[in-house]
Chains A and B, each alone.
Chain A
Amino acid sequence: MRRTFSMGGVHPHDCKISADSAIETFPLPQRMYISMSQHLGAPAKPLVQKGDKVRAGQLIGASAGFISANIHSSVSGTVAAVEPYADLAGNPVMHVIIDVEGDEWEESIDRTPDIVREITLSPAEIIKRIADCGVVGLGGASFPTHVKLSPPPGKKAECLIINGAECEPYLTSDYRLMVEHTEEVLLGARIMMRALGVTKGYIGIEDNKPEAIKKMRELTASSYSEIRVVPLRKKYPQGGEKQLIDAVTGRRVPSMGLPIDAGVVVQNVGTSFAVYEAVQKNKPLFDGVMTVTGECLDSQHNFLLRVGTPFEKILETVGGVPQKTAKIISGGPMMGKAVANLSAASVKSTSSLLLLTEKQTRRREEGECIRCGKCVQACPMGLEPYLLNKLARASRMEELEHSKVYDCIECGCCMFTCPANIPLLDYIRTAKADVMRIMRSRPKK
């Protein structure tokens, strides 16, 4: 029996219909909208003004604080404006808008396709390079990578896990990276292991990706023996950090703790590739692989896409939005965000655009909770979603805190499994935000 995490989880259909579409380079659009808030933490400070000429890879947004990240231009051209522009939810965020002219890159970037295998930088230099290149976690939360690679004093990493689970249905961008850029991903892992000073590395891949497992195994056997490939039994949310650590190493991250408390650092496959490009090719993070998929589309795609491409342009390229489409999601169907504004642009961590039909996405009528306990069984964090939902609707903050609502990872397993179609996560998520605000506002001991 393959390994998997021990508690909860659900089995949504795979739907990896874009798995066999090789990565295509997306044509440059005429106008790019580069958000200054593409990461967790403080938004970057824009460094350019209207009329400035920029080149691809040029720093245009400076990291503003410890938890923040640099932003680079993804194209060459002229800055048309630096102003608030609506993101995918329709809320204004500071953007640098660039009119594209040609495709000139910064000269310091190595654009050759050769794989650079020799790592010359020291751990401190690696972390500095990663920070300079604005690399953030591409698994979804966009946490600045250099912060993750600098454990707080007193805590030490013992191993690195590369997250190749890609447990969300439909998404195939990580899979394509693992198949087409196997060695770069492993080199990225080796670089991060060097930065962390660890000797053990794992790459966890779900067993619905046999091709990726095979390729990774071949390469780790021959030249990357410090990294072990761990095939995992398919189960959602295996790609959650805490679940992946449990599945791969059997360690448990304590409640409210971070992976580093269990001596582990987890990085996504996409992040690993970005780290390789940053450190070995001196290329800032300004593009990434993005899946464009959906049963209602005629063709499935995996694009290598520059950051800041408007969603409209992407959909135009794949033949427009089909009539049947009812909902467009950025990210996976379980945790992704519905796109309320198609003129919004992609960010570093945009992993997919998913088009769903009315039948696939329409919510069914909500019934009464019959206390069947399915949500409790499904919760990978061992919480009681039915109870949290009731407490949340009654705004009972103390009891919510007592029931550890803050441990919720918002994976949506409870809502997925509920036979009464109760929107459990909707209420739990808001309550979690409230409780965490209350907890943060307390004076620290």
Chain B
Amino acid sequence: MGTTFIFTVVILSVLGLLLAVILFLVAKKFNVEEDPLIDVVEATMPGANCGGCGFAGCRAFAEACVKSRSLEGKFCPVGGNAVMQKVAAVMGVQVEEKVPMVAVVRCNGTCRNRVRVNEYDGSVSCRIMSSLYAGDTGCRFGCLGGGDCEKACQFGAIRINPETLLPEVDEEKCTACGACVRACPKGIIELRNKGPKSRRVYVSCMSQDKGAVARKACSAACIGCRKCEKTCPFGAITVENNLAYIDFNKCKLCRKCVAECPTGAIHAVNFPPKPAAAPAEEPKTDKQ
């Protein structure tokens, strides 16, 4: 009994020691030199691993930053400028301030604006829906309402509104990681400048159909009439393929186009309501 006990202890101890030595030698032999700076940079990251920066995760981003010794073309949309400043400080390099961005849903085909001509009864997923048909309204460019963007968002910032069946972005939560942009098979979500005081003007439509067709399918569609293009004093608006687009880098938020648009496809958000100047123009929902 006693000897069994002693033997066990001795054998296990010797075995343990031996394995420890082997492990030590192996660890020495196959040691991978890694810059300790990577760990430091990674610690400053938000840790969401969302892939919004274009790398596989926060660690991969940190590795890329440290390896290239510069922050050019690298930006963490979740952490924003604050985190990038910290990363720059840790690495001892300069970083440019970036204007904050936000996801913008460019479709206003609410149930009221768009008449449904079909009923879909299959799996609720925009990807599957878009592979089967063009959409259950007359518009083949608009939101399908399957909620792939909602599923893709890690931050709970985009939600399908059950009343309009359109996604709405919570500006406070949106980090502009771009996951919803990639998830949308119709490509209706765009990352746009957040704008001063979150004020933005954009065309809330993606329809490239001719005016009459687009208008028939959706009462809030851009019909490509070019009125906004002619009105814009800054040349920020271009109409291509029957669809207007506002370049957010040129737009000075004068909102002349908003009053001009016959279908109300141009949205101006987060502006204070104008008391008497333009009674026809109704301020759109803040959450877009």
Give chain A's interface residues, CB within 8 Å of chain B.
86, 89-92, 327, 337-338, 340-341, 361-363, 423, 426-427, 429-430, 433
How far, in Å, is B124 (CB) from chain A's closest CB? 10
**Complex alpha-carbon distance, A433 and B127, angstroms:** 11
- Contact between chains at A430 and B122 (CB < 8 Å): no
User: Known contacts being A362-B121, A363-B122, A423-B123, is A86 close to B134, with CB within 8 Å?
Assistant: yes
The closest CB in chain A to the CB of B136 belongs to A340
* Cβ contact of A89, chosen from B123, B125, B127, B134, cutoff 8 A: B134
A423-B123, A427-B125 known, 5 other contacts, Cβ within 8 Å: A90-B134, A327-B121, A362-B121, A423-B122, A426-B125
The closest CB in chain A to the CB of B209 belongs to A92
- Contact between chains at B133 and A430 (CB < 8 Å): no
- Contact between chains at A430 and B118 (CB < 8 Å): no
Q: How many A-B residue pairs have CB under 8 A?
A: 42
Which residues of the other chain, A, contact B134 by a CB distance below 8 angstroms?
86, 89-91, 340-341
Of the A-B pairs whose beta carbons lie under 8 Å apart in the complex, a sample of 14, sorted by A's number, is A86-B134, A89-B133, A89-B134, A90-B134, A90-B135, A91-B140, A327-B121, A361-B121, A426-B128, A429-B128, A429-B131, A430-B128, A430-B131, A433-B131
Which residues of the other chain, B, contact A91 by a CB distance below 8 angstroms?
133-134, 140
**Complex alpha-carbon distance, A361 and B122, angstroms:** 11
**Complex alpha-carbon distance, A91 and B128, angstroms:** 15
- How many chain B residues touch A (Cβ–Cβ < 8 Å)? 14
- Contact between chains at B122 and A90 (CB < 8 Å): no
- Contact between chains at A340 and B122 (CB < 8 Å): no
Interface of B: prevailing SS? loop
User: Known contacts being A90-B140, A91-B140, is A338 close to B123, with CB within 8 Å?
Assistant: no
Which residues of the other chain, A, contact B123 by a CB distance below 8 angstroms?
423, 426-427
Does B132 lie at the interface of the complex (its beta carbon under 8 Å from any beta carbon of A)?
A: yes
Which residues of the other chain, A, contact B122 by a CB distance below 8 angstroms?
363, 423, 426
How far, in Å, is A335 (CB) from chain B's closest CB? 13
Chain B positions 103-129 with a Cβ under 8 Å from a chain A Cβ: 118, 121-123, 125, 127-128
Q: Which of B118, B133, B135, B140 has the most chain A CB within a 10 Å cutoff?
A: B133
Give chain B's interface residues, CB within 8 Å of chain A.
118, 121-123, 125, 127-128, 131-136, 140
The closest CB in chain B to the CB of A86 belongs to B134
**Complex alpha-carbon distance, A89 and B122, angstroms:** 14
**Complex alpha-carbon distance, A338 and B136, angstroms:** 12
The closest CB in chain B to the CB of A87 belongs to B134
Which residues of the other chain, A, contact B135 by a CB distance below 8 angstroms?
90
**Complex alpha-carbon distance, A430 and B127, angstroms:** 8
The closest CB in chain B to the CB of A424 belongs to B123
* Cβ contact of A338, chosen from B127, B131, B133, cutoff 8 A: B133
Which residues of the other chain, B, contact A433 by a CB distance below 8 angstroms?
131
**Complex alpha-carbon distance, A327 and B125, angstroms:** 20
**Complex alpha-carbon distance, A224 and B131, angstroms:** 44
How far, in Å, is A84 (CB) from chain B's closest CB? 10
Q: Which of A86, A426, A429 has the most chain B CB within a 10 Å cutoff?
A: A426
- Contact between chains at A338 and B128 (CB < 8 Å): no
How far, in Å, is A51 (CB) from chain B's closest CB? 21
Which residues of the other chain, B, contact A361 by a CB distance below 8 angstroms?
121
**Complex alpha-carbon distance, A89 and B121, angstroms:** 15
Which residues of the other chain, B, contact A423 by a CB distance below 8 angstroms?
122-123
The closest CB in chain A to the CB of B129 belongs to A426
**Complex alpha-carbon distance, A327 and B132, angstroms:** 14
Which residues of the other chain, B, contact A341 by a CB distance below 8 angstroms?
134
**Complex alpha-carbon distance, A89 and B132, angstroms:** 7
